């Protein structure tokens, strides 16, 4: 008789291997949350999109910011070192300054350096608007005051800010109790201008005195910032043409562009009073300008516009030019690429800019761009028709001469594949698992539109790296971060990447 006792039923495995698996799973979930937030912070602006309104955008973003700040505060702060948009950068700064008690002393030091570095890159109007929001929210801790004080001290000309951003500077000065000494030093004059206007017969600071004289002297308008001079010109009844001719030398690049767009919309393209220098415009901004022109004008100015787009693409590519091998691109010019009333043609502009940038990144003569509409002339693209992404992806993956497949496939689209629906995801799944398991072709989906329902950009397939994109200039960096979404790297690599970006972004500067 066998007297051996039966083996007991196996209990739950609580050994080291199971614990390691749990930690790995938790790390992967955290990494997915981080990538989701980064995509949102790059694409979402709180403005209406083609398929969502502004309220939906704001509600979705508010939830996502709160979730990531509470659960991954270190990563939330580190996002300031990435290529996120200005809207989300300001939201992150405000979220960090409103909740200092949730961070350790070391974390606050790192956050201070990140905030200072990011504020230095933000446009001054957005920073002043952020300071106003902090005042209204009664955020007045020592760190907040120190950061605001340091930013104001670094401004190149507070007199200019006092005229151009008067309300914002006045609010910030009140909030941090900025000392305005007596006497004739520049800060004293700025204080008198802000809080005791009209008391001095003249100002030593040229811009402050030009503002004083502009109330009765048209000649002073050419010494003022454009947006301020515009109001005085209307008060004096000056003709628009004469005013623009005098104000042109002091206009910023963006002011020139907006003025010309307004002129073109009102009178047509003939002989604009303000010329735009296309040779210095960033790539995506230039693509937006090109798409704002009528098809006829684009055709007439083909050599000029195409040359400017290619030159901007070469500047954006930098050292990456020619290093990506054979590159094929699927570019979405369907009707949804028209964007919204607040973001007119933005998705299409990103696709047009990516088209020219990818051409430069590819090896010479090794680029092929396919538009969803079948258009063959990139300069004349317009938002039109459905989104047959699946068909175009099949065309892009078709082997070329000698059976060569592309080294990289880039898909620039909002992800709403609808002709037929779901074909793009199925094509990519079969390609990855059946036809290219060795991953000879790197596939990346670049999506310029935030999806409020999914708290992320819309994805085409689970195994395809997807990254949000706002400006085509960020494409090389986004392709790097998108690889973390493929699941072939662990969370440690992602966090190490973020730490490197933080160190490079903050440099050796001290924190507040």
Using an 8 Å Cβ cutoff, are 370 and 392 in contact? yes
Of all residues in the chain, the percent with pLDDT exceeding 70 is 89
Q: Indicate if the pLDDT at residue 108 is higher than 50.
A: yes
Chain centroid, CA 396 distance in Å: 28
Asked if the model's pLDDT at residue 334 lies above 70, the reply is yes
Angle at the Cα of 353 (from 349 to 356), degrees rounded to 5?
A: 145
The tokens describing 76, both together, are 């939330």
Looking at 135-144, 177-186, 272-281, 411-420, which range is the least confident one?
Answer: 177-186
- For the segment 192-208, the average pLDDT, to the nearest whole number, is 88
- Secondary structure string (H, E, C) spanning 71-96: HCHHHHHHHHHCCCCHHHHHHHHHHH
pTM of the complete model: 0.86
Report the chain's mean pLDDT, rounded to a whole number. 87
Sorted by where each starts, the structural domains of the chain and their CATH numbers stand as 289-490 (3.40.50)
- One DSSP character per residue, 389-435 reads HHHHHHHHHS--GGGPPPSEEEEES-S--BTTBTHHHHHHHHIIIII
3-state percent helix, strand, coil for the chain, nearest multiple of 5: 60, 5, 35
The model's confidence at residue 6, banded by pLDDT at 50, 70 and 90, is very low
* pLDDT at residue 199 in the model: 78
Residue 14 has pLDDT above 80, yes or no: no
Question: For the residues 105-118, what does the mean pLDDT come to?
Answer: 95
Buried/exposed 405-421: b ≥16 CB within 10 Å, e otherwise = bbbbbbbbbbbbbebee
Alpha-carbon span 160 to 225, nearest angstrom: 8
**Highest mean pLDDT: which range of 56-70, 184-198, 254-268:** 56-70
Question: How far lies 337's CA from each of 50, 168, 348, in Å?
Answer: 8, 35, 5
CA distance 105 to 111: 10
């Amino acid at each position: 008789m066998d007297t051996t006792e039966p083996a007991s039923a196996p209990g739950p495995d609580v050994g080291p291997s199971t614990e390691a698996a749990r930690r790995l799973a938790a790390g992967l979930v955290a990494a997915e949350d981080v990538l989701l937030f980064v995509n949102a912070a790059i694409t979402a602006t709180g403005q209406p999109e083609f398929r969502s309104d502004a309220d939906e955008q704001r509600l979705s973003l508010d939830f996502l910011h709160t979730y990531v700040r509470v659960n991954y505060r270190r990563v939330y702060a580190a996002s300031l070192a990435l290529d996120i948009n200005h809207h989300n950068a300001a939201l992150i700064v405000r979220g960090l300054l409103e909740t200092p008690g949730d961070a350790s002393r070391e974390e606050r030091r790192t956050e201070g350096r990140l905030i200072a570095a990011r504020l230095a890159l933000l446009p001054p109007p957005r920073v002043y608007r952020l300071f106003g929001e902090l005042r209204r929210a009664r955020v007045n801790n020592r760190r907040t005051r120190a950061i605001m004080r340091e930013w104001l001290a670094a401004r190149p000309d507070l007199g200019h800010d006092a005229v151009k951003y008067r309300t914002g500077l006045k609010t910030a000065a009140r909030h941090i109790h900025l000392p305005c000494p007596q006497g004739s030093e520049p800060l004293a004059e700025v204080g008198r201008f802000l809080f005791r206007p009209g008391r001095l017969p003249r100002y030593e600071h040229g811009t402050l005195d030009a503002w004083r004289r502009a109330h009765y002297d048209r000649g002073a308008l050419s010494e003022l910032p454009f947006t301020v001079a515009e109001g005085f010109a209307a008060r004096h009844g000056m003709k628009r043409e004469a005013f623009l001719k005098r104000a042109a030398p002091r206009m910023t690049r963006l002011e020139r562009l907006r003025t010309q767009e307004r002129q073109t919309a009102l009178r047509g393209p003939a002989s604009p009073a303000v010329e735009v220098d296309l040779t210095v415009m960033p790539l995506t901004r230039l693509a937006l300008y090109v798409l704002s022109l009528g098809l006829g004008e684009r055709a007439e100015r083909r050599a000029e516009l195409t040359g400017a787009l290619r030159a901007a693409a070469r500047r954006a590519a930098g050292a990456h030019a020619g290093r990506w091998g054979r590159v094929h691109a699927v570019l979405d010019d369907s009707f949804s690429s028209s964007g919204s009333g607040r973001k007119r043609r933005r998705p299409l502009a990103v696709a047009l800019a990516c088209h020219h940038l990818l051409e430069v990144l590819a090896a010479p003569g090794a680029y092929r761009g396919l538009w969803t509409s079948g258009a063959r002339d990139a300069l004349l693209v317009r938002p039109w028709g459905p989104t047959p992404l699946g068909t175009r992806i099949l065309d892009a993956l078709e082997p070329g001469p000698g059976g060569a497949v592309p080294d990289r496939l880039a898909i620039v689209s909002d992800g709403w594949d609808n002709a037929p629906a779901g074909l793009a995801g199925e094509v990519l799944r079969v390609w990855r698992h059946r036809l290219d398991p060795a991953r000879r072709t790197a596939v990346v989906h670049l999506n310029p539109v935030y999806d409020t329902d999914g708290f992320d950009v819309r994805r085409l397939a689970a195994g395809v790296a997807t990254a949000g994109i706002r400006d085509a200039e960020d494409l090389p960096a986004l392709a790097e971060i998108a690889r973390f979404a493929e699941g072939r790297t662990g969370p440690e690599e992602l966090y190490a990447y973020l730490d490197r970006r933080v160190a490079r972004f903050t440099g050796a500067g001290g924190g507040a």
